[in-house]
Structure 1
């Protein structure tokens, strides 16, 4: 956040305990300080400039800055620290750095770097309003680095093959649009002329098609979609597979199971991995993890769902596999994730039915 590693000294803060922040009983990972008689918290004291302290305060939305005395080997110091605003979060279990590090350290470090970069452009208030989206983006970046696409046929990338001369954020809310001035290596050799390119930035998503091999039926969902509306589609309600963004701190598989409960009120018994892909790599950063979800789908399975706070209004549909292929043939199943999963299921359907 400040662009350097400052001098750090061990320090002890008396009269406080440290706990995981929670919301609605769900742990959020990060620590909050709580007044607690007889307790003490071990931490690190950093000497910062006024500008550096201000940059850190950008990141600490939901907290109030206060001064408290801490003790160090060199004696007492009056230090600034951040206490959570009343009622903003609930207290969870006692928090330790060793428990936090494996799951959150890389993600929060990447997220903090991206937060500061955006705050410098759009301001800290707007960046904080986008903080969840920033973490989604950070998690997507880490997955891309950890699991890059194979390159058996594609060219191998070397240092200097891509030069980004400028990068700016043109729009940033739930999604973002980024402009790039760049040059890249040509297949014939040498570098391209400077190119002006834009990317619509969203996080990784997960898609799951629930399938009951005993009854040979699937569950689909229907909801309003802005994309078809913007294109001019007369009916912007779409028939789809269950889908959603992968939240920070969860895996694509966990996201698929969560979305099945949120959108249709069903439980997936087993996930079968289907292709992973960029649906529109010419301009969109979205990367999709897709699955066939083995589930018990009797008559009446599925319930209207969606997260109200996200404006979701979702209706489930139970139908036979043949009816699904009919929707693909007529074009009513007019979106790539559902078409891909329908065809992928067609490849393995007989085997799954035989196993069931």
Structure 2
């Protein structure tokens, strides 16, 4: 982490901080993965004492948004030294369970270290305040990249990347909030041999997403959600409320399956009994980084299952619809179910429906 944030690993000395213990930061009862120091009489926490330049200390200050730097006495061997430590700002996070590096590392180390590198790169371009506002989005983007490396698309007939097939001449950030737009100048290998001219290209950067279509094979019905959508509104759609499968971004530290189950609870208030994997795909690879994991979720969809849902502090306003499967196909055919994730899952379910009903 130090190398990622300040560019080097300085000399480190073991040290002990009296009067504090370490716990996981939480929000709404959910662990966020990172540690915070909590004052506690009689406690002591081990750490590492580093000598930094003022520029390196400033970089750490960029990264440690949400904390206040204070001076405290730490014990380094036989010496007592005044050191800068970082305490969480009041009421910013809840305090969760005790935190240990051994528990944190398997789930978070690769993600948070890559995220630190990405954060510093963005902070240098758009400023630390804007980068801190995007920290969650940065982690979403990094988690997507790690999944892409761990589970690349099959390459049986398409070109497989070779060394020197791609040269990125420059990269810049044109827009950065919940999503970002990145501008590239690059050269890539040509099918006829050689390299392309330097191309000016842009990518709309979002994270991986999970989509789940709840299906009750006994009642042969599905659940759709309806909500206001910016894409149709900005295009000029007269009524920009859309019928969709349940969907959402895969959060840092969770799997696509965990995201699908979480979104089913948040958007529709239902519990999925079993997830069945459907297609995985890039919806629009010409410009978008989004990669979709899609599922059919087996559930009990009785008449009481409809509700209003969504996460209020994310501005979600959602209502649910229970429909016979044949009605879903009708909506696909008329275009009212006019978005690719729902259409693909409807067609996947049409092909597998009889088997699922027989198993049920």
Structure 2 partner of 1:115? 119
Residue aligning to 2:165: 161
Task: Indicate conservation of the 8 Å contact 1:266/1:302, yes or no.
Answer: no
Residue among 32, 39, 45 paired with 1:41? 45
- Asked if 1:293 corresponds to 2:297, the answer is yes
Q: Aligned Cα RMSD in Å?
A: 0.9
Corresponding residue of 1:215: 219
Equivalent residue pairs, number: 356
Q: Hey, what's the Cα distance between the residues in 1 that align with 2:213 and 2:331?
A: 14
How far off is 1:69 after superposition? 1.5
Q: CA deviation at 1:60?
A: 0.9
Secondary structure of the residue that 1:170 maps to in structure 2? strand
Determine helix, strand or coil for the equivalent of 1:42. Answer: strand
Q: Secondary structure at the match of 1:300?
A: helix
Give runs of aligned pairs for residues 166-181 of structure 1, distance below 5 A. 166-181=170-185
Kindly indicate whether residue 297 of structure 2 is the aligned counterpart of residue 261 of structure 1: no
| Structure 1 residue 29, shift from structure 2 partner | 1.2
Alignment partner of 1:64 is 2:62: no
- 2:108 aligned to 104, 109, 126, which one? 104
Q: Which residue of 2 aligns with 1:270?
A: 274
1:230-245 equivalences under 5 Å are 230-245=234-249
Displacement after TM superposition at 1:75 (Å): 2.2
Map of 1:280 onto structure 2:
284
Q: Distance in 2 between matches of 1:273 and 1:172?
A: 32
Deviates more, 1:192-201 or 1:102-111: 102-111
Equivalent-residue separation in structure 2 for 1:94 and 1:311 (angstroms): 32
2:7 is the counterpart of 1:3:
yes
What SS does the aligned partner of 1:134 have?
A: helix
Cα deviation for residue 302 of structure 1 reads 2.6
8 Å CA contact 1:271–1:293 kept in 2: the answer is: yes
Aligned pair partner of 1:303 in 290, 303, 307: 307
User: Which stretches of structure 1, 4 residues or longer, exceed 3 Å deviation after superposition?
Assistant: none
Task: Quote the Cα distance in structure 1 between the aligned partners of 2:70 and 2:304.
Answer: 56
| Alignment correspondent of 2:324 | 320
For the Cα contact (< 8 Å) 1:167–1:178, is it kept in 2? yes
**Alignment counterpart, residue 80 of structure 1, candidates 84, 97, 100:** 84
SS of corresponding position for 1:43: strand
Partner of 1:343: 347
2:309 match: secondary structure: coil
- Long gaps (5+) in structure 2: none
Query: How much has 1:183 moved relative to structure 2?
Result: 0.2
Specify the alignment match of 2:59 in structure 1: 55
Structure 1 distance, partners of 2:136, 2:341, is 24
Task: Between 75-84 and 237-246, report the one with greater CA deviation.
Answer: 75-84
Which of 176, 188, 191 is the aligned partner of 2:192?
A: 188
Q: What TM-score, normalized to structure 2?
A: 0.97
C-alpha distance in structure 2 between counterparts of 1:328 and 1:74, whole Å? 74
**1:74 positional shift:** 6.2
TM-score for the superposition, normalised by structure 1: 0.98
SS of alignment partner, residue 303 of structure 2: coil
> Does the 8 Å CA contact 1:271/1:291 hold for their aligned counterparts?
yes
Q: Is the 1:244–1:255 Cα contact (8 Å) retained in structure 2?
A: yes
